[in-house]
A and B are shown apart, each in its own frame.
Chain A
Amino acid sequence: MLTFTPKGIYCPYADVYIDPWRGVDRAIVTHAHSDHARGGSRQYLATPVTKALMHARMGIDLNIEAVGYGEPITINGVRFSLHPAGHIPGSAQVHVEHKGEVWVATGDYKRQEDGISTPFEPVRCHTLITECTFGLPIYRWKEPREVFAELNAWWRGNAANGICSVISAYSLGKAQRVMTGVDRSIGPILVHGAVANMNTVLQECGLELPRWEHITKDTPKERFRNALVITPGSALDTTWANRMKPFSSAMASGWMQLRGWRRRANIEKGFVLSDHADWDGLLHTVRESGAERVIATHGYTDLFSQYLRSVGSDAAAETTEFVGEAGADLQEGTRSVDPPGRPATPAE
């Protein structure tokens, strides 16, 4: 019912693509991150929030039809509906039904509640196409409130010493999650322009956010001293960040789980806060879906599907052009990992 083509995940019965990475006639978009919502297609279908975000990011003249969670749309006999994925505001899983057979493409998702997105809703299906950005047993997340306690302690400590706290977080989703989760009594929340843009759109969509200020060249330097600055990682290494000195740098991302990534990111503090499902969340989702067949996309697809097969599932891996969890320059394109094989090293 769904196939993997060079343009993306495709439903031939309805002639519809899900998150295509090339321009097509008709596209369903799971969420507004740039590796899933791409330009060039004639007609889009997405949740109202995703529609608003896409217009803000990619232009007002895109032809996007908004569909609420759970509202069915039938195209050429195939019934499509969108269901909350809990990844970022507006994010959706795609439920596809044709002649009694059900497939679900999860898009990106997480099982933790983040305070800004509609929580993930399990959907039963015959075949599940799941992401597995963090599909290894080394990725298991702590409770967000524990992470926010660490984050608050870091911010509070810096603020007490007049040091600005600069956290790099993806401007759509992670940034708002951080704003919403921190203890606002510590100091002001200042944001980079990219974050400000997303904040504005999301507030127009009805999301409630704590008070924030857009950093401009008129922002007084003293304002930074006890502030939490939220910025995309790319701005951290530019002169833009100079005015905040002295500052302590941090990053909020699932990749911060590994010391190696943390050290390589050249930041002082890593907070393990991910908008993707961890190992347990992925397995839980596979079980809850009741799927007879699982297809793993972006992430440790080979290993994750091999594991599912080892516990008796019918599972396969497919290559896509989705990126997974962004984190400043940690964004490395599609990540793939070796399947296990005979242990050997090349001859000396």
Chain B
Amino acid sequence: MNREAALFDQLDATTSTTAKVDALATYFREADDADKLWVIALLSGRRPKRPVTSTQLRRWAAEVSGIPDWLFEASYHVVGDFAETVTHIATLEERITKRLSEWVRYVEDLKDLPEEDKATRVKAAWAGLEGMELFVFNKIITGGFRIGVSQKVMVKGLSKATGVGDDVLAHRLMGNWSPHGSSFEELVFGANAGDDHSRPYPFYLAYGIEGPEGTAAGAGLNDLLPLGDPREWQAEHKWDGIRGQVIMRGGQRFLWSRGEELVTDKYPELAALRDALPNGTVLDGEILAWKDDAALPFAELQKRIGRKSVGKKLLADVPVIFMAYDVMEHEGEDIRQRPLSERRQRLEALVAAARHPALALSPTLPFRTWEEIVAHREHARSSSIEGLMLKRLNSTYEVGRRRGDWWKWKVDPLRIDAVLTFSMQGHGRRADLYTDHTFGLWHNGELVTFAKAYSGLTDAEMKEVDAFVKKNTLERFGPVRQVKAELVFEIAFEGISASTRHKSGVAVRFPRIARWRKDKKAEDANTLDDLKSMIR
């Protein structure tokens, strides 16, 4: 695995995308096929099934290092990454040399072993590896292979090494493949690609409308004028659900979510679409919780996410529909290169012919001028709509996030001033800094927690808050510190709904720190009632 360790060291040591792409390309040109497949898999979020629990790993790590459990835990909170913590604590005894694919096999083979054999083998690996190799092994066994390289960068490197276009590669790397069932040839050069009926297309993702020179958009008309002639555009609502792709091929139906997760079985009410859509159809749209001709809040849909099997009651309480807005494949043909106007016509015909209650067509909004779009946006906030989508009528269906032809224009976030109440050390580049904050609003003279937020501060502000937390700790709960109620932050969020699962009685969507209100004292922060009054 030394080749991969060297690669990850190189990727770690640079912030330049070009340098990362070059390092990956060199690796993909030189390394062995079986190992390359695993690098592709790991960097696209595929990993071997986790054969051991995190509790077991923690116990074994404390055992090999001879330190008490609590000291391992404390160390983990300083490092902010389990795999890295073990890497620093383990001691090399006798080096074991294996290739990446062999180490993955080693991890996979643990699955059916009794616990003590698992322990022996994991400890043997810890004693046989060091540095980046050990870190990679720990990442394989703990899952979550996030090391600062996006799938997009990996695909660019692979494209550079193989000469296959990155859009084509992005498509080939989608879906259900695993290094066990595919060869590098098949995966990258597309031999036998037609065999996989379930393979989704990469989603086309929009950027937010921008203000001048890439600044955040204001609410104004001025931000739309660069788009040119309004007659060249189509407008729709931006739905607040789960982006999904419905695939009908070979008499089978598949439903993918944007996170490349096959969710067919989670939404049985969409199963009947099998009879309503013709073979060779792939639709892009949104999975929405929908009842009595209206969308339910995202918080309701959330009850369905993460549930493998859905009970009758939940099905009745939170039924879902598929709100379609594009078609990528029609009559077995990839039509992504045809203009949106044509795809839209075909989509309308498909939805009309299906006449199925679980399949809806995302309506286009009528407008002639950009002023009318501004007005639409002003009315676009509801429990299931988070703004507008603007799409150029002649746009092709692109791969990944692109500027130019598709734009999202969210409604302005809601904002409230809240008090910092608890804080915890972060992960990754925030490790060993108190950056994961909990915020409260006033209610009957007490601060009630309403949101957690991690992002939104500058590096300098982050350090300043870290210092405040360390100096103003009232009580410690393991890694969490309760702090003196003093700092006020403006918290921005996208949506709001009543919730019985939250102590505050309110759930907010995408809370983040908008700014530090150094001008406000804790007692000037908003109340829980202020927040509740924002619920419509």
Residue A263 is within 8 A (CB to CB) of chain B in the complex: yes
Residue B502 is within 8 A (CB to CB) of chain A in the complex: yes
| 8 Å CB interface, B451-495 against A | 459, 463, 466-467, 470, 476-482
* Nearest Cβ on chain A to B74's Cβ, whole angstroms: 5
Q: Do A332 and B68 have beta carbons less than 8 Å apart?
A: no
* Nearest Cβ on chain A to B354's Cβ, whole angstroms: 41
Complex: how many Å from CA A266 to CA B478? 30
Per the CB 8 Å criterion, the residue count for chain B at the interface is 51
Contact of A348 among B75, B84, B449, B466 (CB under 8 A): B449
* Nearest Cβ on chain B to A39's Cβ, whole angstroms: 25
Complex: how many Å from CA A337 to CA B482? 14
Instruction: Give the one of B13, B14, B438, B449 with max A CB within 10 A.
Output: B13
User: How many inter-chain residue pairs (CB < 8 Å) link A and B?
Assistant: 116
Residue A268 is within 8 A (CB to CB) of chain B in the complex: yes
Proximity bits, B419-450, A CB within 8 Å = 1, else 0: 00110101111111100001000000000010
Complex: how many Å from CA A336 to CA B469? 11
Q: Do A346 and B74 have beta carbons less than 8 Å apart?
A: no
Residue A310 is within 8 A (CB to CB) of chain B in the complex: yes
Residue B377 is within 8 A (CB to CB) of chain A in the complex: no
Neighbouring B residues of A262 by C-beta, 8 Å:
12
Complex: how many Å from CA A300 to CA B75? 10
Q: Do B74 and A263 have beta carbons less than 8 Å apart?
A: no
Q: Do A341 and B478 have beta carbons less than 8 Å apart?
A: yes
Q: Do A263 and B478 have beta carbons less than 8 Å apart?
A: no
Residue B89 is within 8 A (CB to CB) of chain A in the complex: yes
With A137-B67, A260-B79 as contacts: A346 and B478 at CB distance below 8 Å: no
Neighbouring B residues of A266 by C-beta, 8 Å:
15
Complex: how many Å from CA A333 to CA B470? 11
Q: Do A336 and B470 have beta carbons less than 8 Å apart?
A: yes
With A136-B75, A336-B470, A346-B438 as contacts: A263 and B13 at CB distance below 8 Å: no
Neighbouring B residues of A346 by C-beta, 8 Å:
421-422, 438, 449, 477, 480, 482
Q: Do B432 and A137 have beta carbons less than 8 Å apart?
A: no
User: Which A-chain residue is minimally distant from B148 (CB atoms)?
Assistant: A263
User: Which B-chain residue is minimally distant from A311 (CB atoms)?
Assistant: B68
Contact of A307 among B67, B81, B84, B480 (CB under 8 A): B67
Complex: how many Å from CA A343 to CA B72? 13
Neighbouring A residues of B466 by C-beta, 8 Å:
332
Residue B503 is within 8 A (CB to CB) of chain A in the complex: yes
Residue B391 is within 8 A (CB to CB) of chain A in the complex: no
Q: Do B477 and A264 have beta carbons less than 8 Å apart?
A: no
Complex: how many Å from CA A341 to CA B473? 14
Complex: how many Å from CA A336 to CA B466? 11
Q: Do A337 and B74 have beta carbons less than 8 Å apart?
A: yes
Proximity bits, A248-266, B CB within 8 Å = 1, else 0: 0000000001111111101
Contact of B477 among A259, A300, A342, A348 (CB under 8 A): A342
Q: Do A348 and B502 have beta carbons less than 8 Å apart?
A: yes
Complex: how many Å from CA A344 to CA B424? 11
Per the CB 8 Å criterion, the residue count for chain A at the interface is 36
Proximity bits, B63-97, A CB within 8 Å = 1, else 0: 00101101111110111110011001100000000
Complex: how many Å from CA A268 to CA B481? 32
Complex: how many Å from CA A261 to CA B14? 15
Neighbouring B residues of A138 by C-beta, 8 Å:
75, 78-79, 85, 88-89
Neighbouring A residues of B429 by C-beta, 8 Å:
260, 263-264
Q: Do B74 and A338 have beta carbons less than 8 Å apart?
A: yes
Instruction: Give the one of A303, A333, A341 with max B CB within 10 A.
Output: A341
Complex: how many Å from CA A339 to CA B74? 7
With A264-B433, A268-B14 as contacts: A137 and B70 at CB distance below 8 Å: no
Contact of A337 among B78, B84, B431 (CB under 8 A): B78
Complex: how many Å from CA A106 to CA B42? 47
Complex: how many Å from CA A161 to CA B437? 44
Q: Do B71 and A303 have beta carbons less than 8 Å apart?
A: yes
Neighbouring B residues of A264 by C-beta, 8 Å:
429-430, 433, 459
Contact of A340 among B70, B422, B470 (CB under 8 A): B70
Complex: how many Å from CA A347 to CA B503? 7
Q: Do B13 and A268 have beta carbons less than 8 Å apart?
A: yes
Q: Do B74 and A332 have beta carbons less than 8 Å apart?
A: no
Residue A239 is within 8 A (CB to CB) of chain B in the complex: no
With A138-B88, A307-B67 as contacts: A341 and B78 at CB distance below 8 Å: no
User: Which A-chain residue is minimally distant from B86 (CB atoms)?
Assistant: A138
Residue A140 is within 8 A (CB to CB) of chain B in the complex: yes
Neighbouring B residues of A260 by C-beta, 8 Å:
79-81, 426-433
Proximity bits, A301-319, B CB within 8 Å = 1, else 0: 0010011001000000000
Neighbouring A residues of B426 by C-beta, 8 Å:
260
* Nearest Cβ on chain B to A284's Cβ, whole angstroms: 15
Neighbouring B residues of A212 by C-beta, 8 Å:
none
| 8 Å CB interface, B115-163 against A | 148
Instruction: Give the one of A257, A333, A344, A345 with max B CB within 10 A.
Output: A345
Complex: how many Å from CA A136 to CA B77? 11
* Nearest Cβ on chain A to B465's Cβ, whole angstroms: 12
Q: Do B73 and A137 have beta carbons less than 8 Å apart?
A: no
Q: Do A338 and B428 have beta carbons less than 8 Å apart?
A: no
Q: Do A347 and B88 have beta carbons less than 8 Å apart?
A: no
* Nearest Cβ on chain B to A299's Cβ, whole angstroms: 11
| 8 Å CB interface, B18-67 against A | 65, 67
Q: Do B12 and A338 have beta carbons less than 8 Å apart?
A: no
Neighbouring B residues of A136 by C-beta, 8 Å:
71, 74-75, 78
User: Which B-chain residue is minimally distant from A345 (CB atoms)?
Assistant: B480
User: Which B-chain residue is minimally distant from A264 (CB atoms)?
Assistant: B429
Residue A139 is within 8 A (CB to CB) of chain B in the complex: yes
Complex: how many Å from CA A262 to CA B135? 16
Complex: how many Å from CA A269 to CA B16? 13
| 8 Å CB interface, A5-51 against B | none
* Nearest Cβ on chain B to A270's Cβ, whole angstroms: 8
Neighbouring B residues of A307 by C-beta, 8 Å:
67-68, 71
9 A-B pairs with the lowest CB-CB distances in the bound complex, closest first: A260-B431, A340-B70, A263-B429, A138-B88, A344-B477, A343-B478, A346-B422, A138-B75, A264-B429
List 15 A–B pairs whose Cβ atoms lie within 8 Å, in order of A's numbering. Answer: A136-B75, A138-B75, A259-B12, A259-B84, A260-B427, A260-B429, A260-B430, A264-B430, A266-B15, A268-B13, A310-B68, A332-B466, A340-B478, A342-B477, A348-B449
Given contacts A138-B89, A345-B424, 19 further A-B contacts (CB under 8 A): A136-B78, A137-B67, A137-B88, A138-B88, A260-B431, A260-B432, A269-B13, A300-B78, A306-B70, A307-B71, A337-B74, A338-B479, A339-B74, A339-B476, A340-B74, A345-B480, A347-B449, A348-B501, A348-B502
